[in-house]
Amino acid sequence: MRLGFIVEPRAANSNYRVIFPMRALEHLGHEVLWPARLEQDLALSDLLRCDLVHCFRRLDRSRDLKQLLRQGVAVSFDNDDDFGAADMLRDPTRPGKLETGGKVRMGNTKRFTDILRLTKLVDLTTTPSHALADKYRAAQAKHVAVIDNHLDGAVSGFGSQASHHGLVVGWMAGAEHERDLARLPIVDVLGRLLEAHPELRVVTIGLRLPLRSERYEFRPKVPFGELLPAMADFDIGIAPLADTPFNQARSSIKLKEYGSVGASWLASPVGAYRAMGSREGGQLVEDDEWFEALDRLIRSRFKRQRLSRQALKWARSQTIERFASRWEEEFSRAVERASASRLTA
Please tell me the distance from the alpha carbon of residue 17 to that of residue 128, in angstroms, as a whole number.
Answer: 9
Domains of the chain: residue spans and CATH: 2-150+320-344 (3.40.50.2000), 167-316 (3.40.50.2000)
Alpha carbon 3 to its chain centroid, in Å, reads 22
- Is residue 304 within 8 Å of 283, Cβ to Cβ? no
DSSP H helices, 73-197, are 102-119, 130-138, 178-181, 186-196
Angle at 16 between CA 226 and CA 218, to 5 degrees: 35
State residue 5's pLDDT score.
96
The strands making up 200-205's β-sheet, listed across from edge to edge, are: 216-219, 200-205, 167-172, 236-239, 264-267, 282-284
pTM of the model: 0.90
Mean pLDDT of all residues in 181-203: 95
- pLDDT score of 134 more than 80: yes
Mean pLDDT of all residues in 196-225: 94
Please tell me the distance from the alpha carbon of residue 342 to that of residue 340, in angstroms, as a whole number.
Answer: 5
Portion of the chain with pLDDT greater than 70, in percent: 91
Mean pLDDT of all residues in 5-22: 92
The three state secondary structure string of 3-33 is: EEEECCCCCCCHHHHHHHHHHHHHHCCCEEC
State residue 95's pLDDT score.
42
- What is the rounded average pLDDT for all residues in the chain? 90
Ramachandran angles phi, psi of 155, nearest 5°: -70, 155
Residues 6+ apart with CB under 8 A from 117: none
- Name the pairing type of β-strands 98-100 and 88-90: antiparallel
- pLDDT score of 86 more than 60: no
Each residue's pLDDT tens digit, 41-66? 999 999 999 999 999 999 999 999 99
- Is residue 265 within 8 Å of 282, Cβ to Cβ? yes
State residue 301's pLDDT score.
94
Each residue's pLDDT tens digit, 242-257? 999 889 989 999 999 9
Local confidence band at 84 (pLDDT 50, 70, 90 cut-offs) = low
